[in-house]
C-alpha cells in the first residue's frame, strides 16, 4: 500500500469507527458486530503504526470511548474507566501471555516467575463506578466517555444487591468499586410480559434495557425493574491486599455481591480451559455474558505493565463467537443518516437469535452487498453478538431461487430523490442535498442543540422530529422564532415543558462565540478548531473575510479545514443562516471577559496535561493554562515545553516525554509557576 492509499484508508476507517462509537455509546444501538468493530479498529491501529504521519490526534484509536449522555450531571472519574482489548482465539491469548512475560522479564525483577492470572466472566451489562466514604455510598457514575460519567447515584441506590452502608470496619476510608449492572433473564422476561399485558412494545435485549433503565429520571420506576449488579474491581489508596484476587475476596465481607465465577489458574493453559468451559456453560447462566476477562493478579506487576492510551496491558478479554441463524431476505430499505450517508438495511423473515426475534440486519454499504452478492429472497446467515441490529455474514447459495438477479444499489436518495454521490476515498454513498433533505436538516439541528454546542435544555431528537413535521422549524434559526402558542398545542407538551424549552432557547443566546461556531456544523470544524478560529479572529466577520491562505496560517488549521471554512461562508444559504442567527442575538464575537488573562506568566509556553489531579480536573487545569497566557498542546512533540503529570498517567506519554527531554512537572510545580 502506497502513502496516498494509506491516507485515504485511514480517513475512511476513522469516519466509520466514529459513527459506530456514536451509535453504540450515545444512541444505545449498534449497526455492527463487536467482532467487526474490533477488526476495523485493529486495521486502523496497524495502518497508523505503518504510516504515523497520517495518524490524527483525534483518531478513534486514541479514544477510550465515545461521548457523555445528556440529561444527568456530568462528573470526572477519579480513576479513568478504560476499556479492554479483545481477542477471539486461544492463540491470541497465548500471544498476550508471551508479551506480558517479556515485559516483566525486561523489567529485571523476575516478574514472570510471580505471574498469575485471575479469570472472570465478561458480563453483558452497563459499567458502573461506585464511590464509598467511611463505609457509605456517596456517588455512582456511568462509564460515559471514560474520562467523565453521568451521576446516576439515585438510581443505583434502588438496586438491592448494592449495599448503601458497608458491613464491618476493615474497609478503606475511601475507595471506588466497579462492576456491571445487568438484567437477570427472569426479571427481563417479567418486564416484557408486563409490557405486553399493558399493550406496550417489548424491549429488545437485557443489556440495552439495563442501560435505558439506569438513565430513567424517576428512581421509583427504576426500583420496579429489579436490576442486579456484579462487582469486580477495587481502586483506592489503602486497599487491604497487594493483589486483585484477595481484594475481591475481601469485598464479600463488606457486603458486596461478588461474581459467582472466579478462577485463579496456575498457567495460561488453565486460562484456556476456563474459556472453553464457559463457552459451553454460558447457556445455563441466569444472565448474559459475551466472553471471559483475565487479569494479572499482583498489583505491582500491573504497575510495571502499565497502560496504553486505551486499555491496561495487564488485562484482556476473550470474546465468544457470535450466534448465527438462517432466514430469508424479504426486501432492502435505505436509511439516510445525519451526514447524508446512505445505509442499506435488510428486512428479514423474523428469526429467533440470541434470545430475541430478529427482523432487520445491517448491510452497511454497496461494497458489502456486492462482496456477498446478496439478492432478494436469498436465504442468508445472520449473526448477532448482543447488538440490536445484527448483520448478514453470508448467503446459502444452494437455496437461492432460480432466476434471481444481482442487487442494484439505489442511485437517488430515498427521501428527497437527489442523485447520490460517493466522496473520494469513501465507500459510502451520500445524498448531497444537505439543505433540502429532511434527515440531514434534522441532524444539523440535533448537532446545534447538543451539550457541547448550544446546550439547549428541554429539547431532544423526538422534539426536533415533531417540530419539523409540524413545519415549526426548517433550520436552526427557526428555534428562536418558536412561541408559547405554537408549542402548547402539540402532543407531549405541557405548560412546564414548553416553558423549559423556551427558557433553554433564550439561555443559549449567552453561549460563547467559540461554541456557536462549533454549533454551526461546518465540516471539519470541531470543538478545538472552533476555539482556535474564534480566539484568533475574534468575530464571525473576520473569519468570513479571511482567505484560504490566511486561514492556513492559523495554528493547527490545515488546508482541508481552511477549504471547508471558505466553502461554508461562500455558500449563500449558510451566509443567510448566520445573518438570521445574528439577528436573534447569538454571540458571534468574543467578548472582553473571554479574552481577559489572569496573567502572562505562561506566555509562549505549551503544555500537555495527563493523569488525575488533586485540586483540578483536567479541563480546569487546561483553563488555568490559557488564563495565564499558556497554550494547550494536543500531543507530546519536541516543540512541547512542559508535561504536567498527574496520578495514573499513561506510561507511553511519560516514556515519550523522557525520550524528547521534555520538562515533566507536578500539579504543585504548576501552581508555583502561576502564583
Q: Where are the domains of the chain?
A: 1-62, 75-319, 322-423, 438-510, 513-595, 606-674
pLDDT for 259 equals: 77
CA distance 404 to 498: 54
pTM (predicted TM-score) = 0.49
Task: Report angle CA 623, 556, 621 to the nearest 5 degrees.
Answer: 15
Confidence of residue 434 (pLDDT cuts 50, 70, 90): confident
User: Which DSSP string corresponds to 285-300?
Assistant: SSS-EEEEEEEESBHH
Mean pLDDT computed over 252-263: 84
pLDDT for 200 equals: 64
- Nearest to 367, CA basis, from 438, 446, 422, 445: 422
Helix (H, G, I), strand (E, B) or coil at 642: strand
pLDDT for 460 equals: 84
**Which comes out higher in pLDDT, residue 177 or 36?**
177
Highest mean pLDDT among 97-111, 146-160, 539-553: 539-553
Q: Domain 438-510 is classified in which CATH homologous superfamily?
A: 5' to 3' exonuclease, C-terminal subdomain (1.10.150.20)
CA distance 453 to 434: 20
**Which comes out higher in pLDDT, residue 494 or 355?**
494
pLDDT for 541 equals: 94
In the predicted model, what is the mean pLDDT of the chain?
85
Confidence of residue 594 (pLDDT cuts 50, 70, 90): low
Judge whether residue 642 has pLDDT over 50. Answer: yes
CATH class name, domain 606-674: alpha beta
> Do 380 and 392 form a contact (C-beta atoms < 8 A)?
yes
The pLDDT tens digits for 390-402 are 888 889 999 999 9
Beta strands across the sheet bearing 228-235: 136-142, 126-133, 174-182, 228-235
Least confident among 137-141, 480-484, 556-560: 556-560
Least confident among 197-206, 256-265, 629-638: 197-206
pLDDT for 298 equals: 93
pLDDT for 581 equals: 96
The pLDDT tens digits for 279-322 are 888 888 888 888 999 999 999 999 999 888 778 999 999 988 77
CATH of 1-62, one of 3.90.1200.10, 3.40.50.1950, 3.40.630.40, 1.10.287.610: 1.10.287.610
Q: Domain 513-595 is classified in which CATH homologous superfamily?
A: 5' to 3' exonuclease, C-terminal subdomain (1.10.150.20)
Judge whether residue 632 has pLDDT over 70. Answer: yes
The pLDDT tens digits for 60-73 are 665 433 333 346 78
Confidence of residue 439 (pLDDT cuts 50, 70, 90): very high
Judge whether residue 551 has pLDDT over 90. Answer: yes
Residue 235 host element (H or E): strand 228-235
pLDDT for 465 equals: 92
pLDDT for 386 equals: 45
CB-side exposure of 176: number of CA atoms within 13 Å?
17
**Which comes out higher in pLDDT, residue 443 or 524?**
443
The pLDDT tens digits for 3-48 are 888 888 888 888 787 677 656 644 546 667 766 777 787 788 888 8
> Do 338 and 416 form a contact (C-beta atoms < 8 A)?
no
Local structure of residue 408 (DSSP, 8 states): P
pLDDT for 65 equals: 31
Q: Is 170 exposed, middle or buried (0-12, 13-18, 19+ CB in 10 A)?
A: exposed
Residue 342 host element (H or E): strand 342-353
Mean pLDDT computed over 485-510: 91
Domain 75-319 listed as CATH 3.30.470.30: yes
CA distance 454 to 449: 5
**Which comes out higher in pLDDT, residue 440 or 532?**
440
Mean pLDDT computed over 188-211: 78
Judge whether residue 422 has pLDDT over 60. Answer: yes
CA distance 221 to 212: 12
pLDDT for 387 equals: 46
Confidence of residue 505 (pLDDT cuts 50, 70, 90): very high
Judge whether residue 264 has pLDDT over 60. Answer: yes
Query: Hey, which residues are catalytic here?
Result: 122
CATH class name, domain 322-423: mainly beta
Least confident among 52-61, 253-262, 644-653: 52-61
Q: Where are the beta strands (DSSP E) in 510-652?
A: 606-610, 631-632, 642-645
Same fold, 438-510 and 513-595: yes
CA distance 138 to 136: 6
Mean pLDDT computed over 329-353: 89
pLDDT for 588 equals: 94
CA distance 38 to 33: 9
Amino acid at each position: 500500500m502506497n502513502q496516498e492509499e494509506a491516507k485515504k484508508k485511514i480517513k475512511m476507517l476513522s469516519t466509520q469507527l466514529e459513527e459506530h462509537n456514536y451509535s453504540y455509546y450515545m444512541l444505545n444501538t449498534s449497526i455492527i458486530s463487536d467482532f467487526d468493530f474490533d477488526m476495523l479498529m485493529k486495521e486502523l491501529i496497524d495502518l497508523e503504526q505503518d504510516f504515523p504521519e497520517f495518524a490524527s490526534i483525534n483518531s478513534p484509536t486514541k479514544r477510550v470511548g465515545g461521548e457523555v449522555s445528556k440529561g444527568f450531571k456530568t462528573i470526572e472519574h477519579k480513576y479513568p474507566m478504560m476499556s479492554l482489548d479483545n481477542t477471539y482465539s486461544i492463540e491470541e491469548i497465548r500471544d498476550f501471555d508471551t508479551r506480558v512475560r517479556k515485559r516483566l522479564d525486561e523489567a529485571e525483577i523476575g516478574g514472570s516467575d510471580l505471574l498469575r492470572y485471575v479469570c472472570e466472566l465478561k458480563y453483558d451489562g452497563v459499567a458502573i463506578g461506585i464511590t464509598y466514604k467511611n463505609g457509605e455510598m456517596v456517588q455512582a457514575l456511568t462509564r460515559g466517555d471514560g474520562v467523565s460519567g453521568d451521576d446516576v447515584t439515585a438510581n443505583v441506590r434502588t438496586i438491592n444487591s448494592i449495599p448503601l452502608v458497608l458491613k464491618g470496619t476493615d474497609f478503606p476510608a475511601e475507595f471506588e468499586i466497579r462492576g456491571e449492572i445487568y438484567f437477570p433473564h427472569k426479571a427481563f422476561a417479567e418486564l416484557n410480559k408486563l409490557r405486553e399485558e399493558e399493550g406496550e412494545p417489548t424491549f429488545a435485549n437485557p443489556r440495552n434495557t439495563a442501560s435505558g433503565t439506569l438513565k430513567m429520571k424517576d428512581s421509583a420506576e427504576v426500583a420496579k425493574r429489579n436490576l442486579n449488579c456484579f462487582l469486580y474491581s477495587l481502586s483506592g489508596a489503602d486497599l487491604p491486599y497487594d493483589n486483585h484476587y484477595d481484594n475481591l475476596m475481601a469485598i464479600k465481607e463488606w457486603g458486596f455481591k461478588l461474581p459467582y465465577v472466579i478462577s485463579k489458574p496456575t498457567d495460561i493453559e488453565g486460562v484456556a480451559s476456563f474459556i472453553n468451559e464457559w463457552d459451553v456453560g454460558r447457556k445455563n447462566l441466569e444472565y448474559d455474558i459475551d466472553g471471559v476477562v483475565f487479569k494479572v493478579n499482583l498489583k505491582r506487576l500491573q504497575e510495571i505493565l502499565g497502560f496504553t492510551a486505551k486499555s491496561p496491558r495487564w488485562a484482556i478479554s476473550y470474546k465468544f463467537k457470535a450466534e448465527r441463524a438462517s432466514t430469508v431476505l424479504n426486501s432492502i430499505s435505505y436509511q439516510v443518516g445525519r451526514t447524508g450517508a446512505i445505509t442499506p438495511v435488510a428486512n428479514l423473515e423474523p428469526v429467533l437469535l440470541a434470545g430475541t426475534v430478529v427482523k432487520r440486519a445491517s448491510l452497511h454499504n454497496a461494497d458489502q452487498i456486492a462482496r456477498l452478492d446478496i439478492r432478494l429472497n436469498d436465504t442468508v446467515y445472520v449473526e448477532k453478538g448482543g447488538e440490536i441490529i445484527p448483520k448478514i455474514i453470508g448467503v446459502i447459495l444452494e437455496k437461492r431461487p432460480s432466476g434471481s438477479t444481482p442487487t442494484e444499489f439505489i442511485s437517488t436518495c430515498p427521501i428527497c430523490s437527489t442523485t447520490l454521490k460517493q466522496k473520494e476515498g469513501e465507500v459510502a454513498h451520500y445524498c448531497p442535498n444537505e439543505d433540502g433533505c429532511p434527515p440531514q436538516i434534522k441532524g444539523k439541528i440535533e448537532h446545534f442543540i447538543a451539550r457541547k454546542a448550544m446546550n439547549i435544555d428541554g429539547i431532544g431528537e423526538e422534539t426536533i422530529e415533531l417540530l419539523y413535521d409540524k413545519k415549526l422549524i426548517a433550520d436552526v434559526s427557526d428555534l428562536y422564532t418558536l412561541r408559547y402558542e405554537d408549542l402548547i398545542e402539540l402532543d407531549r407538551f405541557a405548560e412546564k415543558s414548553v416553558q423549559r424549552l423556551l427558557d433553554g432557547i433564550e439561555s443559549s443566546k449567552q453561549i460563547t462565540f467559540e461554541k456557536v461556531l462549533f454549533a454551526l456544523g461546518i465540516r471539519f470544524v470541531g470543538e478545538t478548531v472552533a476555539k482556535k478560529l474564534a480566539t484568533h479572529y475574534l468575530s464571525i466577520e473576520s473569519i468570513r473575510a479571511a482567505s484560504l491562505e490566511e486561514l492556513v496560517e492559523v495554528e493547527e488549521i490545515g488546508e482541508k479545514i481552511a477549504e471547508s471554512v471558505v466553502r461554508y461562508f461562500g455558500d449563500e444559504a449558510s451566509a443567510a443562516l448566520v445573518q438570521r442567527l445574528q439577528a436573534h442575538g447569538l454571540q458571534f464575537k468574543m467578548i472582553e471577559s473571554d479574552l481577559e488573562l489572569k496573567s502572562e506568566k505562561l506566555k509562549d509556553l505549551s503544555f500537555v496535561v495527563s493523569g488525575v489531579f488533586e485540586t483540578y480536573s483536567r479541563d480546569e487545569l487546561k483553563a488555568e493554562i490559557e488564563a495565564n497566557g499558556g497554550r494547550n498542546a494536543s500531543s507530546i512533540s519536541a516543540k512541547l515545553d512542559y508535561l504536567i503529570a498527574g496520578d495514573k498517567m499513561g506510561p507511553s506519554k511519560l516514556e515519550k516525554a523522557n525520550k524528547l527531554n521534555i520538562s515533566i512537572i507536578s500539579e504543585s510545580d504548576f501552581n508555583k509557576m502561576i502564583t
